[in-house]
Amino acid sequence: MNLSEILGLVGGALCNFSLIPQLRRLFIIKSAHELSLTFLIAWMAGMFCWLAYGIIANSLSLILWNIITIILGSLMLIAKLKWGMKHDNPGR
């Protein structure tokens, strides 16, 4: 395994592990009003593009971590659709 792939694996791990506290918070407080649906959709589309690029480039780190990012992002999107679309306070 070369240095660039090792850096990709470490960088992907750090980026993905940083999502865990946010996901934990979303599912504990059951509120996702602060998340932008536009952001989540654009971010997920970007992750699918990176996954496709990783497959074309045959890069283990890009394939592995983008699959995991897509899973974590899907959980965030589910939380947004379930707990973030209500307009409890229209004057906000």
For the chain, give every domain's residue range: 47-82
Residues of the chain with pLDDT under 50: 92
Residue indicated by tokens 């979303």: 26
**35-39, long-range: CB < 8 A, 24+ apart:** 35/76, 35/79, 35/80, 35/84, 37/80, 37/84, 37/85
pLDDT score recorded for residue 88: 52
**pLDDT value at residue 1:** 83
Q: What pLDDT is recorded for position 39?
A: 95
CB atoms under 10 Å from CB of 76, counted, come to 21
CA 13 to chain centre: 12
